[in-house]
Amino acid sequence: MKHVKPIDAPVIVGSMALDNVKTPAGEVTDSLGGAANYSAVAASFFTPVNLVGVIGDDFPQTHLDYLESRNIDLAGVDRIDGGKTFSWSGYYDFDLNIAHTTDTQLNVFADFKPTLPDAYRKASYVFLANIDPVLQLDVLNQVEKPRLTLCDTMNFWITSKRDALIEVLSRVDVAFMNDAEARQLTGCMSTIKAAKAIQKLGPKTVIVKKGEHGALLFHEDEHFSAPSYPLEDIVDPTGAGDSFAGGFIGYIASEGDITPKTMRRAVVYGSVMASFNVEDFSLNRMRRLTPHHIAERYRKFKEIAYFEAMEEAVL
């Protein structure tokens, strides 16, 4: 891995959770979850990370140890004495594209006011994972002159905090969204039209995550389509989008450039990290992952997408 200057370690802000998840492959309780954790761990394979979030005093020390072992700085994580960590409970049936929520316990997350340590305010890369867009704006107001700001969101905020979300979009460089969210936000049935409509709201770069159909990058006038990895057995789709964003940001930060060439590769690294993440519950697959695995799968993506240029003679 390249040496990354501390200032280039991305700041990742979002939820840290203890989840209860059930899928056709099994179930886990009180497992490490939350958008910020999934993103930070995925990014950590490429770069050190500065994490901003909140936990209760029930958050196991072993999880904190694991995050620190991944070179994730926890100076921005608030631990609330007597508080309980945010918890999501849900299940997936055989259609793994649909998450069914059975319970959401906001707990300490209800009063989350992200405050960036001074050292983080000069960050070059800032990722606002899926949280209330009002908080995303708070974070944007705390950073001095980031090189690249990125945000994710979800259907809940599109409906309930639309104006704040539109303001976030007007201020970030990169927006991640899944295809249903892109259509919901813009009212466009076509994913292509929806992505272009989102670009008009602010972000030069829009990345549409399409799960088993891969991902699309819209960067100014450029268009790139990344395939998905042909997984036969998905154990748990939770955190796939967050791992995708983490891989994307981690790779960008490690390269230190934001050219279209790097963005395309970052989309593939994002897809690689998401494809690993869904192979096990929680962050379990990440615990066994090595740079060699990542390199192998990147090559596999290259092979899946490869076809020869045309020979002029044919037509």
Q: What is the rounded radius of gyration, in angstroms, for the C-alpha atoms of the chain?
A: 19
The maximal CA–CA distance of the chain, rounded, in angstroms, is 74
Residue type at position 296 = E
Which position among 71, 105, 225, 284 is part of the footprint of a copy of itself (CB under 8 A)?
225
47 contributes a contact to a copy of itself by CB under 8 A = no
- Long-range contact pairs involving 292-298 (C-beta distance under 8 Å, separation at least 24): 294/45, 294/269, 297/229, 297/272, 298/268, 298/269, 298/272
Which position among 234, 273, 283, 289 is part of the footprint of a copy of itself (CB under 8 A)?
234
Cβ pair 46, 57 in contact under 8 A: no
299 contributes a contact to a copy of itself by CB under 8 A = yes
**CA 281, CA 69: separation in Å to the nearest integer?**
20
Question: Which class for 150: exposed (0-12), middle (13-18), buried (19 or more C-beta within 10 A)?
Answer: buried
**DSSP category for residue 221:** T
230 contributes a contact to a copy of itself by CB under 8 A = yes
Residues in the chain: 315
**CA 30, CA 109: separation in Å to the nearest integer?**
16
Q: How far is the CB of 230 from a copy of itself (least distance, A)?
A: 5
Half-sphere exposure of 115 (CA within 13 A, CB side): 4
Of the two residues 163 and 309, which places its CB atom closer to a copy of itself in the complex?
Answer: 309
Q: How far is the CB of 310 from a copy of itself (least distance, A)?
A: 5
Which position among 193, 256, 279, 284 is part of the footprint of a copy of itself (CB under 8 A)?
193
**CA 2, CA 291: separation in Å to the nearest integer?**
12
Cβ pair 46, 250 in contact under 8 A: yes
Which one of 73-81, 151-159, 276-284, 306-314 is the stretch in contact with a copy of itself (CB under 8 A)? 306-314
Residue type at position 79 = R
Of the two residues 58 and 179, which places its CB atom closer to a copy of itself in the complex?
Answer: 179
Q: Which residues within the stretch 95-154 sit at the binding site for a copy of itself (CB under 8 A)?
A: 95-96
227 contributes a contact to a copy of itself by CB under 8 A = yes
Which position among 7, 75, 106, 231 is part of the footprint of a copy of itself (CB under 8 A)?
231
x-or-dash pattern for a copy of itself, window 248-287, by CB under 8 A?
---x--xx-----x--xx-xx-------------------
Helix, strand or coil for residue 92? coil
314 contributes a contact to a copy of itself by CB under 8 A = yes
Cβ pair 136, 151 in contact under 8 A: yes
Of the two residues 138 and 255, which places its CB atom closer to a copy of itself in the complex?
Answer: 255
Which one of 62-70, 106-114, 189-197, 277-285 is the stretch in contact with a copy of itself (CB under 8 A)? 189-197
**CA 104, CA 124: separation in Å to the nearest integer?**
33
Q: How far is the CB of 85 from a copy of itself (least distance, A)?
A: 32
Which position among 91, 171, 210, 279 is part of the footprint of a copy of itself (CB under 8 A)?
210
Q: How far is the CB of 7 from a copy of itself (least distance, A)?
A: 20
Residue type at position 108 = V
163 contributes a contact to a copy of itself by CB under 8 A = no
Q: Which two tokens stand for residue 60?
A: 């196991």
Cβ pair 44, 158 in contact under 8 A: no
Of the two residues 77 and 286, which places its CB atom closer to a copy of itself in the complex?
Answer: 286
Q: Which residues bind a copy of itself (CB under 8 A)?
A: 1-2, 45-46, 94-96, 189-193, 196, 210, 212-214, 216, 223-228, 230-234, 251, 254-255, 261, 264-265, 267-268, 291-292, 294-295, 298-299, 302, 304-310, 312-315
